[in-house]
Structure 1
Amino acid sequence: MHYDHIISGTFLKRPNRFIAIVLVGGQEEEAHVKNTGRCRELLIPGARVYLQQHNDPKRKTKYSLIGVSKGNLMINMDSQAPNKAVGEWLKRGGIFPYIEEIRAEKKYGNSRFDFFVRGGELMAGTREAFVEVKGVTLEEDGTAWFPDAPTERGVKHIEELIHCVEEGYDAYIIFVIQMKGVHCFRPNDRTHRAFGDTLRKAADSGVHILALDCLVTKDTMEIDEKIPVIL
Structure 2
Amino acid sequence: MEFSPALRQATLITRYKRFLADVISAEGETLTIHCANTGAMTGCATPGDTVWYSTSDSSTRKYPHSWELSQTRAGHWISVNTLRTNALVREALQAGWVQALSGYQTLKAEVKYGSERSRIDFMLQAEGRVNCYIEVKSVTLLQQGKGYFPDAVTERGQKHLRELISAASEGHRAVLLFAVMHSGIEDVSPARHIDSRYAELLVQAQQQGVEVLAYKASLSHTGMQLRTSVAVKL
Aligning the two structures, in what range does the TM-score lie when normalised by the shorter sequence? over 0.9
**2:202 matched residue in structure 1:** 199
Shift in CA distance, 13/139, structure 1 to aligned 2, threshold 3 Å: same
| RMSD of aligned alpha carbons | 1.4
SS across alignment from 2:126: strand
What does 1:108-119 align with in structure 2 at a 5 Å threshold?
108-109=113-114, 110-119=117-126
SS across alignment from 1:98: coil
Answer yes or no: is 1:27 the counterpart of 2:29.
yes
Match of 2:112 among 83, 107, 118: 107
**1:129 matched residue in structure 2:** 132
SS across alignment from 2:232: coil
SS across alignment from 1:29: strand
SS across alignment from 1:163: helix
Shift in CA distance, 69/169, structure 1 to aligned 2, threshold 3 Å: same
Q: Does the CA contact (< 8 Å) of 1:97 and 1:119 recur in 2?
A: no
Q: Distance in 2 between matches of 1:117 and 1:135?
A: 20
**1:48 matched residue in structure 2:** 50
User: Aligned partner of 1:146: which letter?
Assistant: F
Alpha-carbon displacement from aligned partner over 1:114-141 (angstroms, at most 9, x marks no partner): 0110138xxxx42321000001111124
What does 1:1-231 align with in structure 2 at a 5 Å threshold?
1-5=1-5, 6-24=7-25, 25-70=27-72, 71-93=74-96, 94=98, 95-109=100-114, 110-119=117-126, 125-231=128-234
Q: What is the aligned residue count?
A: 227
Give identity over the alignment, percent.
30
Deviates further, 44-53 or 138-147 = 138-147
Deviation at 1:38, TM superposition (A): 1.3
Q: Does the CA contact (< 8 Å) of 2:22 and 2:33 recur in 1?
A: yes
What are the ranges of 5 or more consecutive residues in structure 2 without an aligned counterpart? none
Q: Does the CA contact (< 8 Å) of 1:96 and 1:119 recur in 2?
A: no
Q: Does the CA contact (< 8 Å) of 2:13 and 2:22 recur in 1?
A: yes
What are the ranges of 5 or more consecutive residues in structure 1 without an aligned counterpart? none
SS across alignment from 1:81: helix
* Greater strand fraction, Structure 1 or Structure 2: 1
Deviation at 1:73, TM superposition (A): 1.1
Normalised TM-score (structure 1): 0.93
Deviation at 1:99, TM superposition (A): 1.9
